[in-house]
């Protein structure tokens, strides 16, 4: 018995020694290779650029002028100089007329960092700087030459402006998929654009900064890692990251927190666009969540675009302080819903109640008044100061019954305003625009409405699509050779005072001034707030496997790239649907396995991918994101393809 114990002890000791030696060999020999490619973040790049923002010794006579200071906002500049005394400086950017000229007065300073917004492209712009020093008027004219616009920039095909009723704010547009986030003046001239890929909403926060999406995907096709808080120079002050990313819309709460349309990619149902979170702007903590699967039946009220993974398709978020509620827009159920903010319970539903379960019928309204119509596949639902519900009614099909569908050539998109009575559960249509425009104004997707003031609105039909000269009922990406149009109308007292048409599709429009009351520009490092969360491991093995294969032609044909961003590892390659692919991170004697799912929708196992013949033959490009959270130290990077473990000869450090 004693001999057996000794032999058993020796066996355990040998195993431990082998594991230690194996781990040491992997840890020392396999990591002493090349570090994966490091990708600099926008925040890191802007810190490098600010090293050249010199002000010492520069005067009004010879200021330091930097065009496009952060490299992402070509129609802006930064002017820097010093004065002996604190003075207020007024800047004027000369335009072609009064409504295209912009003036702003900056607070008293000795060191003057003057952000210049609203330059014209491909022109010598005149910028006038004025201030008073010892009762002497100082005036300096500076000429700033800008480059041409990119060749793929969307320029207006038609602009109609009643200038006597307009002010000199700009119209800011965000793209639907490709293109630029940009702003036009009342003449249709481009006066600002952002070269970074920013989707979804663009709006101004209470502090005067803009809030736009990051350029980085957290999941395909359009779920972004989070949001940038920035100014028009393109200077980022805060980057907000969320575990479920960001899509479509956000709302700034009175306490500064953000209600964000997000996702829960780890939910058991495998669904998307049915999850809203509240993000603490100071800590990055998710302090509240709303999971719509706990509120509605996924199979109720289906529209033509309904699917089992994208059953609700929330595209707007709005908080109403008066009723302490949030309003959401479920495009794929033709439903605008309202939830109690504290409890998350359902208050009401606006939409046609056809195909909804009996238990939900009490939440629907009964129409009253003449000329009432429901909304269909809607966007941008909000509550106005008067308490009305303002919606962009896309107008898809205008029925839940397939046999009663209205085709695209006879449909229309409109802005519509409803008055609701939650005691009597009645609803009355009190305003609309767009029906009179007919099918020329029909957008089957995206689009927006904005409330500027009482009886002053914007209606944006941003997704007009023509195929072979006929209206399409599908988004632009569904048809080759489609003709695109974005038609935006500003209305005051039921009169159209401005209209701009663009040969592209745009998601949303906001009318905003270039300058706010305060100059928010500040030098310094940006804050990274929040987290992308820990990436789920598909397996974790105790191993000292030394049997790996060097990179060969089979590996190379997949065109694999491995990059390290500030908060994650990004692995991309081209694979066929039948390929089995894992990213393997070795450290010590353990290996973390992360499956790279070959799918057009890697966030859910529910979907049925439809591959074209070419995609089936050649494969598709897929990406795996492995976040920093939960990982620490150096890891050797291996790629397992169809059972063969390839040594990339690279390591990554978290």
Mean pLDDT by 10 residues, the chain (654 residues): 55 50 46 85 97 96 98 98 96 98 96 98 98 93 98 97 97 93 98 96 96 96 97 98 98 98 94 98 98 98 95 98 98 98 98 97 96 97 98 97 96 98 98 98 98 98 96 90 96 98 97 89 96 95 77 96 98 96 94 94 68 89 97 96 95 96
Angle at 163 between CA 157 and CA 166, to 5 degrees: 105
Cβ contact 230:258 at 8 Å: no
Give the residue among 570, 533, 451, 630 at the shortest CA–CA distance from 277: 533
Tokens of 459: 């209606």
Q: Count CB atoms within 10 A of the CB of residue 182.
A: 24
What pLDDT was estimated at residue 154? 94
Domain with CATH 2.60.40.3100 in the chain: 54-145
CA 199 to chain centre: 4
Give the phi and the psi of residue 166 in degrees, each rounded to 5. Answer: -115, 160
**Residue 465: strand, helix, or coil:** strand
Q: How far apart are CA 259 and CA 276, in angstroms?
A: 7
Q: Is the peptide bond before 434 cis (omega within 30 degrees of 0)?
A: no
3-state DSSP percent of the chain in helix, strand and coil, to 5 = 15, 45, 45
What pLDDT was estimated at residue 28? 45
Tokens of 99: 């409504």
Give the phi and the psi of residue 169 in degrees, each rounded to 5. Answer: -70, 165
Inter-CA distances, 611 with 249, 559, 574, 599, 615, Å? 30, 20, 14, 9, 6
What pLDDT was estimated at residue 29? 42
Residue partners of 361: CB distance under 8 A and separation at least 6: 353
Give the phi and the psi of residue 151 in degrees, each rounded to 5. Answer: -65, -25
**Residue 502: strand, helix, or coil:** strand
Specify the DSSP element, H or E, that contains 44. Answer: helix 42-50
What pLDDT was estimated at residue 14? 52
| CB under 8 A, 24+ apart: contacts of 356-361 | 356/300, 356/301, 357/297, 357/300, 360/296, 360/297, 360/300
Q: What is the chain's alpha carbon radius of gyration, rounded to the nearest angstrom?
A: 28
What pLDDT was estimated at residue 608? 59
Cα-Cα-Cα-Cα torsion 631, 635, 638, 643, nearest 10 degrees, comes to -60
What's the CATH fold of domain 54-145?
Immunoglobulin-like (2.60.40)
What pLDDT was estimated at residue 602? 78
Angle at 634 between CA 631 and CA 639, to 5 degrees: 85
Cβ contact 227:237 at 8 Å: no
Inter-CA distances, 583 with 22, 82, 558, 579, 641, Å? 20, 54, 14, 13, 9
């Amino acid at each position: 018995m004693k001999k057996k114990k000794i032999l058993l002890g020796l066996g355990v000791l040998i195993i431990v020694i082998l594991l230690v030696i194996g781990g040491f060999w992997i840890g020392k020999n396999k990591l002493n290779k090349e570090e994966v490619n490091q990708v600099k973040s926008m925040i890191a790049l802007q810190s490098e650029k600010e090293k050249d923002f010199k002000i010492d010794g520069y005067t009004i006579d010879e200021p330091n002028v930097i065009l496009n200071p952060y490299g992402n906002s070509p129609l802006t500049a930064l002017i820097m100089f010093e004065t002996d005394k604190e003075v207020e400086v007024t800047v004027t950017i000369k335009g072609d007329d009064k409504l295209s000229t912009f003036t702003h007065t900056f607070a008293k300073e000795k060191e003057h960092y003057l952000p210049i917004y609203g330059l014209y492209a491909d022109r010598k712009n005149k910028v006038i700087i004025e201030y008073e020093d010892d009762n002497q008027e100082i005036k300096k004219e500076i000429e700033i030459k800008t480059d041409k616009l990119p060749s793929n920039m969307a320029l207006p095909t038609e602009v109609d402006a009643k200038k006597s009723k307009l002010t000199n704010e700009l119209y800011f547009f965000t793209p639907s998929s490709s293109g630029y986030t940009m702003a036009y003046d009342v003449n249709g001239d481009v006066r600002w654009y952002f070269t970074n890929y920013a989707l979804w909403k663009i709006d101004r926060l209470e502090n005067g900064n803009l809030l736009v999406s990051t350029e980085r995907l957290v999941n395909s096709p359009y779920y972004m890692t989070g949001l940038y808080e920035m100014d028009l120079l393109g200077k980022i002050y805060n980057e907000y990251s969320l575990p479920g990313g960001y899509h479509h819309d956000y709302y700034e709460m009175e306490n500064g927190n953000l209600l964000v349309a997000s996702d829960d990619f780890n939910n058991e149902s495998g669904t998307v666009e049915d999850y809203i979170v509240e993000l603490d702007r100071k800590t990055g903590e998710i302090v509240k969540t709303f999971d719509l699967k706990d509120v509605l039946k996924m199979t109720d009220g289906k529209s033509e675009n309904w699917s089992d993974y994208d059953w609700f398709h929330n595209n707007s978020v709005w908080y109403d302080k008066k009723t302490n509620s949030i309003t959401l827009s479920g495009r794929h159920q033709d439903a605008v819903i309202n939830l109690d903010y504290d409890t998350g319970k359902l208050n009401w539903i606006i939409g046609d109640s056809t195909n909804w379960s009996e238990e939900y019928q009490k939440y629907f309204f009964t129409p009253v008044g003449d000329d009432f119509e429901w909304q269909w596949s809607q966007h941008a639902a909000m509550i106005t100061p008067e308490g009305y519900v303002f919606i962009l009614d896309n107008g898809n099909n205008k029925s839940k019954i397939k046999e009663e569908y209205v085709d695209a050539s006879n449909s229309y998109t409109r802005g519509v305003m409803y008055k609701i009575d939650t005691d009597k559960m009645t609803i009355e249509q009190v305003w609309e625009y767009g029906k009179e425009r007919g099918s020329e104004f029909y957008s089957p997707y995206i689009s927006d409405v904005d409330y500027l003031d009482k009886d002053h609105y914007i209606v944006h039909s941003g997704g007009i699509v023509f195929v072979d000269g006929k209206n399409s009922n599908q988004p632009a990406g569904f048809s080759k050779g489609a003709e695109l149009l974005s038609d935006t109308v500003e209305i005051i007292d039921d009169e159209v005072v401005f209209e701009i048409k663009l040969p592209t599709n745009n998601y949303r429009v906001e009318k905003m001034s270039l300058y706010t009351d305060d100059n928010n520009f500040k030098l310094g490092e940006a804050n990274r707030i929040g987290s992308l969360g820990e990436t789920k491991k598909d397996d974790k093995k105790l191993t000292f496997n030394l049997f790996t294969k060097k990179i060969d032609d089979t590996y190379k044909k997949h065109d694999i790239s491995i990059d390290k961003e500030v908060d994650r590892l990004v692995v991309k390659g081209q694979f066929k649907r039948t390929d089995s692919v894992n990213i393997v991170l070795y450290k010590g004697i353990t290996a973390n396995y992360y499956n790279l799912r070959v799918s057009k929708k890697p966030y859910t196992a529910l979907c049925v991918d439809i591959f074209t013949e070419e995609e089936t033959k050649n494969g598709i490009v897929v990406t795996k994101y492995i976040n920093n959270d939960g990982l620490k130290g150096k890891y050797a990077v291996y790629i397992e393809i169809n059972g063969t473990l390839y040594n990339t000869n690279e390591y990554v450090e978290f």
